[in-house]
């Protein structure tokens, strides 16, 4: 379940970054993006499922110190964890970082082009820029914070062939908090910009036509 659903979540977060890129940078219509979300979600689920079931077919699962996952502390099991999970995690981090930089740069450029026109639209666009930038920083920060200690623990195990309490403990604390962090980032606990997002969704594509 860890291999299948956690990897699905990583694929899905990378996919969300791509959807934001299409919406903000390429100015695709939000309705068109929504229509394809189910397709993307199914692709994330089935690709990670194929990987997880392949490991099951090779009898690679077992009880580790902290999780029921790819078994053992040998070099072989460490390679499987890195190759079939953590490599995807690192790629997703890098990809979402590039997406964040691209979106931030694009919005800043568009705002700069409108600085000479002090209009209501320009004021709203500047507010939208701050919202997008802040939300993407939180988005990427939660993604990294959730998995960074898991990666550190995997590196320690891979390099020493031993499991240590402190790194295993930090992984056990932060990975299950993913839902809580997502609730903070996306569930509205820190959401004070609903009006701006509503306006942005309905007006973004027509701002610079």
Residues in the chain: 209
Q: What is the pTM of this model?
A: 0.76
Structure tokens at 105: 């740069």
Q: What are the structure tokens assigned to 187, written together?
A: 């569930």
Higher per-residue pLDDT: 80 or 124: 80
Top-confidence residue, 208 or 27: 27
Four-residue CA torsion sign, 170, 138, 39, 83: negative
- Cα distance between residue 37 and residue 19, in whole Å: 9
| DSSP letter (8 states) at residue 206 | G
CB distance 142 to 134 below 8 Å: no
User: Which of 41-50, 58-67, 114-123, 169-178 bottoms out in mean pLDDT, i.e. has the lowest?
Assistant: 114-123
Q: How many Å apart are CA 203 and CA 68, to the nearest integer?
A: 48
CB contact at 8 A, 108 and 129: yes
Provide φ and ψ at 139, rounded to 5°.
Answer: -55, -50
Percent of the chain with pLDDT over 70: 72
pLDDT at 127: 66
* Long-range contact set of residues 43-52: C-beta below 8 Å, sequence gap at least 24: 43/11, 44/8, 44/11, 44/12, 44/15, 45/8, 47/11, 48/3, 48/4, 48/5, 48/7, 48/8, 48/11, 49/4, 49/8, 51/3, 51/4, 51/7, 51/84, 52/3, 52/4, 52/7
pLDDT at 203 over 90: no
| Average per-residue pLDDT for the chain | 77
| 190: confidence class by pLDDT, cuts 50, 70, 90 | very low
Q: What is the pLDDT of residues 22-31, one digit of tens each?
A: 877 887 777 7
Taking residues 46-56, report their average pLDDT.
Answer: 89
């Amino acid at each position: 379940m860890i291999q299948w659903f956690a990897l699905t979540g990583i694929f899905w977060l990378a996919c969300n970054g791509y959807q934001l890129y299409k919406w903000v940078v390429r100015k695709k219509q939000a309705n068109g993006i929504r229509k394809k979300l189910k397709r993307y979600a199914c692709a994330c689920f089935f690709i990670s499922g194929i990987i997880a079931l392949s490991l099951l077919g090779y009898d690679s699962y077992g009880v580790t110190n902290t999780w029921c996952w790819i078994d053992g502390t040998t070099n072989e099991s460490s390679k499987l964890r890195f190759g079939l999970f953590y490599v995807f995690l690192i790629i997703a981090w890098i990809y979402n970082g590039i997406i964040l930089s691209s979106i931030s740069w694009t919005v800043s450029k568009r705002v700069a082009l409108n600085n000479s026109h002090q209009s209501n639209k320009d004021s709203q666009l500047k507010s939208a820029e701050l919202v997008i930038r802040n939300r993407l920083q939180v988005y990427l920060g939660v993604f990294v914070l959730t998995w960074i200690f898991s990666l550190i623990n995997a590196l320690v195990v891979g390099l020493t062939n031993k499991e240590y309490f402190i790194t295993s403990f930090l992984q056990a604390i932060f990975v299950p908090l993913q839902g809580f962090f997502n609730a903070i980032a996306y569930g509205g606990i820190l959401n004070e910009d609903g009006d701006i997002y509503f306006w942005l969704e309905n007006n973004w594509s027509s701002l610079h036509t």
